[in-house]
Amino acid sequence: MVKVSREDFTCAAATNASAYRRVTVPVLKIEASPGPAVALMAGVHGDEWEGQAAILQLWHLLPGVLQRGTVYLLPAANAEASLAGTRLSPSDAGNLNRAFLGAPVRGYTESVAAALESRLLPRIQALIDVHSGGASLRYLPSSVITRYGDDPFDARLPALARAFGLPHCVFFRGTETGSLPAAASRQGVLRLSAEIGGGRETTRDLVERCRDGLLGCLAELGLLTSAPPAAARPSLYDLDAPAATLRTRESGVFIPGVALGQTVTAGQTIGQLIEPARPDTPLRNLASPQAGTIVCLRAIARSDDGDCLLQVAPALSLDSLASLY
Ligand SMILES: [Zn+2]
């Protein structure tokens, strides 16, 4: 017998126009039977839609199909940012993925992080946390493995990435103590993430691939006894390598000459930076920092010093993941 209950919480989010305003973060708890507890989360950044839409579908679907364990669904972890369609929280400009800093909390965003760290993370063994490129970037549909600090290699991660079913898997290394990976690491929670789509838009296809990936992860974790779909064999891209990210050091209008998924050589021209309002400015060609596949591309043409324009890395076998630890 599946038991469904709401575990919403609210956090103060005062603005100049609303002194005692509070924002509600929706949480659904679905208990099937003894077994692992898993959280499926999206909307840590409010403008990343695939995971938010997919978890909203599971909000209605999962109570009818969960067979074992407990699942917490958080379709919009930063509810204020989701409602505004922004990456950061409107009331305090906070980045929820940098706000897990412990007491005392300084405003709405850190209050949400503190609630997640004290109320959710101690109750779960695994977390699937879906992101996307948001307004400014587009990603190839990828599962994500983030190693925080000196976390040891966890042999369950490649199986979980395969169960997500996406053809790509990117590897990051996290160093900020206030990130969600850091908080999950502190509490020993197994964590897989994803980067799916972006560019201030989404599609039904991407949402359904995300939903099916989340169901595949629940099957891999033993919460669904139905056979998981055929596992993918995703290629692995090490985005921790310094040459994996191209940032502009000048302002201009970015004209990409490559597409997501395209393979390039080191030094190949991947686009140009132009300045139409200053026609005497020489046209600047941009070179790929290394050979590989374009896995992330900036979605906004107007760019400034420090903006990420693309990420590129050679496709590795997922079997090589352990060598990155
Ligand atoms: Zn994000």
The pTM for the full model equals: 0.96
Q: Separation of 276 CA from ligand 1 center, angstroms? A: 31
Q: Separation of 134 CA from ligand 1 center, angstroms? A: 7
Determine the Cα–Cα distance for residues 257 and 294; give it in Å rounded to an integer: 11
Q: Separation of 293 CA from ligand 1 center, angstroms? A: 21
Neighbouring C-beta atoms of residue 314, cutoff 10 Å: 15
What is the chain's pLDDT, residue by residue, as a tens digit (325 residues)? 899 999 999 999 999 999 999 999 999 999 999 999 999 999 999 999 999 999 999 999 999 999 999 999 999 999 999 999 999 999 999 999 999 999 899 999 999 999 999 999 999 999 999 999 999 999 999 999 999 999 999 999 999 999 999 999 999 999 999 999 999 999 999 999 999 999 999 999 999 999 999 999 999 999 998 766 666 799 999 999 999 999 999 999 999 999 999 999 999 999 999 999 999 999 899 999 999 999 999 999 999 999 999 999 999 999 999 999 9
pLDDT digits (tens, 9 = 90+) for 266-276: 999 999 999 99
Q: Separation of 265 CA from ligand 1 center, angstroms? A: 28
Domain pair 3-233 / 245-314, same fold: no
Q: Separation of 131 CA from ligand 1 center, angstroms? A: 4
Give me the pLDDT at residue 229, please: 63
The arrangement of strands across the sheet holding 252-256 comes to 284-287, 269-274, 252-256, 302-303
pLDDT digits (tens, 9 = 90+) for 111-170: 999 999 999 999 999 999 999 999 999 999 999 999 999 999 999 999 999 999 999 999
Class of domain 245-314: mainly beta
> So where are the chain's domains?
3-233, 245-314
Of residues 130, 132, 109, 128, the one with CA closest to residue 48: 132
Q: Separation of 226 CA from ligand 1 center, angstroms? A: 30
Determine the Cα–Cα distance for residues 127 and 273; give it in Å rounded to an integer: 40
Neighbouring C-beta atoms of residue 105, cutoff 10 Å: 17
In CATH, the architecture of 3-233 is: 3-Layer(aba) Sandwich (3.40)
Task: Calculate the average pLDDT of the chain.
Answer: 96
Q: Separation of 277 CA from ligand 1 center, angstroms? A: 33
Q: Separation of 303 CA from ligand 1 center, angstroms? A: 19
Q: What is the DSSP letter of 307?
A: -
**What amino acid occupies position 161?**
A
